[in-house]
Amino acid sequence: MQGARLTPTGIVGRARERDALRAALARAVDGRGGLLTIEGEAGVGKTRLGEEFRALAGSAGFAFLYGSASLDSGEPFMVFSRALRGSAAEGLFASDASARFAAVFAVDDSGALLSESAGGGSFDTRTLAGTLGAVQSFVRDSFGGGGGLGRLDFGDTTILIEHGDGVHIAAVLAEGEADGMREALRDAAKTMGGAERRQIADSVRDLATRSFPLRRSLEGVKLETERLRIADGVLQHVSWMAKGRPLALLAEDLHWSDEGSLFVLSYLARNIRDQRVAIVATLRPGEGGDLARALDGMASEGTVERIMLDRLGATDVAQIIDSVFSPNSIPSEFKSRVHADCQGNAFFVLELMRQMSADGSIALRDGAYALARPDYAMPGSVEEVVARRLDGLGMEAMSLAEYASCIGREFPVAAAASLQSLGDPEGSLAALADAHIVARRGETAEFTHAFFHEYVYRNIAGRWKASHHRSLGEYYEREHAADLDAVAYELARHFYRGGESRKAACYCFKARGEGRGGVRRRAGHQILQRGARVRPALGTVR
């Protein structure tokens, strides 16, 4: 409807909650960081308070990070991998890890240096030369014995040594010993015997620049070590960011969060109390045992401040209506009826106002908005008002919404536009944006509220849902043919839900990372373990 704002001009009510956000930011500025959770039922206003947190942080000069969990995703550490996407810390979450030597040296039987080359890391080769010099007699004794010593631990430095015929190789570890390192040194030492100095130098340089697959933690204690490595890496990165200016991090929809993300969040909450970092997380309580245990643990440690959101009062609902339709002559009795029928659910109220604007039930008359249909039939639930809003979309826009919902609440525009039946993907996306159902941010877009994503996805006919997932799986195969491991979680999920059991199993094993890491193995297993179950998180507000 022309002239209607369709969005409140500011946040309505929530004075206590806004004060808590300001206080959290003020503490962070003073180097007293912490975690604040905003908890409440679907549609009660968590998303709006998250937006308020972003705005307050921006006006106070904070750097800002945003991450979210996604409905039924198997990707580990999703909240933080999204928050740190494109940053120097992005590699923390890579499915495949590799390691290189910090430096490689070739020496003769006397320990004299024949060739040297720096590899990965910032190790100073002169420092190593001095280290070797300090233990010269020890090294010489080992080399002269024609075997013997294969490893030197000198302070924080670890050196692998392999012996050849008159030539011996010493390699400094940068990130721990990776698969293939020892064998590569052994093979090189064998081929260097009798070789010219130039050939030795070439071999040393090749070893120093070579990458080796890094076998990360497997089970039990090692799984915990892998999680700690990632959690500490995230902590170090946010601490580094906060040295320039204070940092605000918003983590949304934790009720869908994976174990790894919850572990990292708990770790941060314990360790940012002397940092200039403020974290706000939104969640629906009572959904998921992992979340409940994580919150209970943080509460017992005193590392989280929890705020429970109540539904809006009658005055707040009237303010929303007045903000959307200004000025207006809408009777106060009707505003009270909206409050009662919507039970103070902010999302329900706002979507109802948008629907009434779209169908002309509230219209502009003589310079003010008026109730054109006093006998307006109120929807019986938030699902019903969402259904009415979606009914107003064109066929192509609705098709795009359904296809995109199979990707997630947040989705790459290119992936959503890959639906072959779409004649005008850009026009369809624009129609969804005009209807306030989807918001576009460059090459990505997202449903403006979890309600829309959940409702659309849940109501796709079974055969079409399977077809969409198969199509998306094929899209990811084409677009990421050079590195399928990078999208193994998406491939496993889409082909599983598309009924392609053979492909699903193949990519599930890739996602599990057999022999690579327990964190990823568990995450891959959960893709199949979750099956076709989608939490009935939308609920019904009557």
- Helix (H/G/I), strand (E/B), else coil: 440: strand
CA distance 357 to 153: 74
Let me know the angle formed at the C-alpha of 161 by 132 and 147, rounded to the nearest 5 degrees.
110
pLDDT of 283 > 60? The answer is: yes
Distance between CA atoms of residues 213 and 183, nearest Å = 13
Higher pLDDT, 23 or 143: 23
Res 9: pLDDT? 62
Pairing of strands 168-173, 212-213: unpaired
**Confidence at residue 516, expressed as pLDDT on a 0 to 100 scale:** 42
| Residue 177 or residue 374, greater confidence | 374
- Mean pLDDT over 331-356 rounds to 93
Does pLDDT of 154 surpass 70? Answer: no
User: Comparing 174-183, 308-317, 456-465, 478-487, which segment has the lowest mean pLDDT?
Assistant: 174-183
Q: How far from chain centre, in Å, is Cα 251?
A: 9
Q: Are 249 and 10 in contact (CB under 8 A)?
A: no
Point out the least confidently predicted range of 39-48, 182-191, 434-443. Answer: 182-191
For the cut 50, the answer to whether the pLDDT of residue 146 exceeds it is no
Q: 162 - beta bridge partners?
A: 169
What mean pLDDT do residues 299-312 have? 96
Mean pLDDT, to the nearest integer, of 273-281?
A: 98
In tens, the pLDDT along 407-430 reads: 999 999 999 999 999 999 999 999
Q: Say yes or no to pLDDT of 71 above 90.
A: no
Which SS3 state, helix, strand or coil, does residue 215 take? coil
Q: Are 100 and 212 in contact (CB under 8 A)?
A: yes
What single DSSP character describes residue 324?
H
Q: Which residues pair with 39 in a beta bridge?
A: 283, 308
pLDDT of residue 476: 96
Is residue 147 within 8 Å of residue 163, measured between CB atoms? yes
The answer to whether 328 touches 319, Cβ cutoff 8 Å, is: no
Bridge partners (DSSP) of residue 438 are: 447
Residue 416 in tokens: 């959503």
Average pLDDT, the chain: 84
Other C-beta atoms closer than 10 Å to the C-beta of 254 total 26
**Strand 438-441, strand 410-412: pairing:** unpaired
Does residue 432 have a pLDDT over 90? yes
Say what the pLDDT of residue 242 is.
Answer: 96
HSE, side-chain direction, 13 A CA sphere, residue 319: 13
Record the tokens describing residue 511, joined without a space.
Answer: 């996602």
Angle of helix 462-479 relative to helix 395-405, nearest 10 degrees, comes to: 70
What count of other Cβ atoms lies within 10 Å of the Cβ of residue 336?
13
pLDDT digits (tens, 9 = 90+) for 224-252: 788 898 999 999 999 999 999 999 999 99
pLDDT value of position 539: 42
Mean pLDDT for the stretch of residues 458-482: 96
Contacts of 299 (CB under 8 A, 6+ apart): 306
Identify any residues that bridge with 250 across adjacent strands, giving them in sequence order.
Answer: 66, 280
